[in-house]
């Protein structure tokens, strides 16, 4: 049944040929049918011990090290349950599918979630998807956070998967996001260059870490200013987890409705200058608006766009009305 978990213990001793290799690389080699990313997730979730102690994915093994892994795999993931979940297809051909991911949809099964993901929905709708990322991530080349909406590319073949993944790794893709942030941003634009790492205290959070963090760069510019809020265009050069969210929070302007890094989890009509207490936006106001990359089959540069979803657009409309009301008041006082 979907959601049922199967657990087994894996024990092995590192051999001479594995000495000096990273733990996640070696573990991946001992787990048939599992991607390296999935092996890494087992380690970060605290399911792997080396010589009786918890270890990090980058730990270099020595010959004779004892490794014990508690492998938990949901039954639904092993067969990737096909589920009819809504998402819009922007483009489809023999190599790729470009979609508009709705907010609230997790990209693939992982810690604590076994189905109800974009991967399950893709498996339902398409017969041919890349399995280069492992059986639980059919077609998935890159990710958006669960509550981030917008454009994503999905691979139908392994050749397409490797070609597009290489572009993301080489940072030759172009990504553009729209973000509604708290407060008035007075500077018209800038660049945030701050290294990021998982929080040592809370593995669900990402923090600026100048000592052990990985390089992360986000360029941004102001598109519109509203009473109490600013709309930004963000172009991340790197693709770290939660990158835009953490970088903008570091400026003192967290993304609106970001319950993890921001000031509040939802915006009501009255928060946006409207009447009433109804909820307008209840997820982070971050939308992947554009994505461009070289098509893996014909070699042409392609650009795809996803329109703003209704909740985001309604919030901007209300803020626009509030701005006009302020401007009318100021004009009448002159």
The CA distances from residue 257 to 224, 286, 320, in Å, are: 18, 9, 18
156, 128 Cβ separation under 8 angstroms: yes
Q: Please, how many CA atoms are within 13 Å of residue 315, restricted to the half-sphere of its CB?
A: 28
Q: Pick the catalytic residue: 24, 65, 145, 258?
A: 145
Those residues with Cβ within 8 angstroms of residue 313's Cβ, 6 or more apart along the chain or in another chain: none
CA pseudo-torsion sign 142, 146, 151, 155: positive
Those residues with Cβ within 8 angstroms of residue 40's Cβ, 6 or more apart along the chain or in another chain: 24, 57
d(Cα 308, Cα 290) in Å, to the nearest integer? 11
Token digits for 315? Answer: 């919030």
Those residues with Cβ within 8 angstroms of residue 176's Cβ, 6 or more apart along the chain or in another chain: 233, 234, 235, 288, 289, 290, 291
Token digits for 115? Answer: 């189905």
Is 127 a residue of the active site?
Answer: no
285, 255 Cβ separation under 8 angstroms: yes
CA pseudo-torsion sign 274, 280, 281, 282: positive
Bridge pairing between strands 96-101 and 88-92: antiparallel
Residue 80 — φ and ψ, nearest 5°? Answer: 45, 85
Output the DSSP codes for 221-252. Answer: EEEEEETTEEEEEEEESS--TTHHHHHHHHTT
d(Cα 77, Cα 4) in Å, to the nearest integer? 10
Which residues are designated catalytic?
A: 145
């Amino acid at each position: 049944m979907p959601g049922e978990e199967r657990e087994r213990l894996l024990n092995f001793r590192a051999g001479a040929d594995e000495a000096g290799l990273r733990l996640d690389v070696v573990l991946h080699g001992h787990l048939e049918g599992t991607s390296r990313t999935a092996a890494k997730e087992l380690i970060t979730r605290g399911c792997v011990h080396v010589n009786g102690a918890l270890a990090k994915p980058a730990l270099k093994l020595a010959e004779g090290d004892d490794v014990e892994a508690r492998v938990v795999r949901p039954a639904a993931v092993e067969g990737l349950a096909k589920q009819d979940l809504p998402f819009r297809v922007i483009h489809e051909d023999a190599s790729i599918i470009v979609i508009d991911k709705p907010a609230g949809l997790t990209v693939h099964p992982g810690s604590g979630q076994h189905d109800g993901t974009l991967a399950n929905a893709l498996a339902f709708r398409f017969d041919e998807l890349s399995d280069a990322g492992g059986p639980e991530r059919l077609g998935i080349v890159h990710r958006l956070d669960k509550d981030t909406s917008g454009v994503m590319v999905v691979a139908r073949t392994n050749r397409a998967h490797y070609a597009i993944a290489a572009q993301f790794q080489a940072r030759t893709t172009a990504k553009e996001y729209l973000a509604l942030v708290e407060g008035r941003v007075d500077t018209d634009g800038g660049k945030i260059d701050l290294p990021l790492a998982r929080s040592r205290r809370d593995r669900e959070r990402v923090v600026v870490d100048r000592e052990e963090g990985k390089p992360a760069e986000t360029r941004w510019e102001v598109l519109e200013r509203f009473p109490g809020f600013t709309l930004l265009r963000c172009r991340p050069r790197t693709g770290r987890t939660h990158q835009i969210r953490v970088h903008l929070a570091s400026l003192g302007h967290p993304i609106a409705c970001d319950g993890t890094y921001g000031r509040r989890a939802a915006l009501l009509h009255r928060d946006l200058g409207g009447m009433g207490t109804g909820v307008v936006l209840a997820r982070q106001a971050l939308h992947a608006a554009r994505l461009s990359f070289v098509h893996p089959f014909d070699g042409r540069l392609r650009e795809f766009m996803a329109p703003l979803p209704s909740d985001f657009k309604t919030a901007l409309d209300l803020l626009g009305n509030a701005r006009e009301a302020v401007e009318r008041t100021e004009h009448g006082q002159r």
